Amino acid sequence: MPTTGFAGLSWVLKSVMITSLALNLLVVGALATAWYRHGGKHFHHGGGVERSLMHYARRELPREKWRELKKAWRKERESLRPLFEDVRAARKNVGTVLQAETYDRSRVEAALDQVRQKRIMVRQSVLPKFLDQIETLTEEERRAFGQFIQEDRRGKWRRHRRWRHRD
């Protein structure tokens, strides 16, 4: 009579299943670590000081002021959408160039340069809108925002946590 369950499997099948489980746990752990280190549910790259304004406003300003800034930024974001799409298209072009049959370094460099130029255009378009937002802050709020940027709380916490065991 055949046995059922894990005990009835051959040693080869058992080791394959255990290896598979270990690899799955490794992948899940790596993904969870990357998610945690890069800000949890706010997984994003870039943004710099402009994005810091919105983080500051959300945490530190009165609810009404936060809503005003959020509403103004959403309106401005619509005008920037074509620029964001240009950056996305330039990145796609890099992928297309990299997938070509033969590697052409000059084409890859040109495609990457195009991405860089498109990102600079976005930054140059965002800066005046960012400064317009800063103008709506009171003197006290503006000074507190400057202090918020200088403190860089999130970066300090991460560095401390990452390097504390290397004393």
- Is the predicted pLDDT of residue 100 greater than 70, yes or no? yes
Instruction: Provide the pLDDT for residue 113.
Output: 94
CB 93 within 8 A of CB 110: no
- Is the predicted pLDDT of residue 117 greater than 70, yes or no? yes
Backbone angles phi, psi at 117, to 5 degrees: -65, -40
Give Cα separations from 157 to 32, 35, 52, 72, 164 (angstroms): 19, 16, 16, 31, 10
Residue with tokens 């000074």: 143
- Is the predicted pLDDT of residue 21 greater than 70, yes or no? yes
- Is the predicted pLDDT of residue 66 greater than 50, yes or no? yes
Mean predicted confidence (pLDDT) in 131-157: 75
Residue with tokens 């004393």: 167
Indicate whether this model's pTM tops 0.85: no
Instruction: Provide the pLDDT for residue 155.
Output: 53
CB 163 within 8 A of CB 83: no
Domains of the chain plus CATH, in order, are 48-151 (1.20.120.1490)
- Is the predicted pLDDT of residue 32 greater than 60, yes or no? yes
- Is the predicted pLDDT of residue 140 greater than 90, yes or no? no
CB 53 within 8 A of CB 134: yes
Of how many residues is the chain composed?
A: 167
Backbone angles phi, psi at 35, to 5 degrees: -60, -45
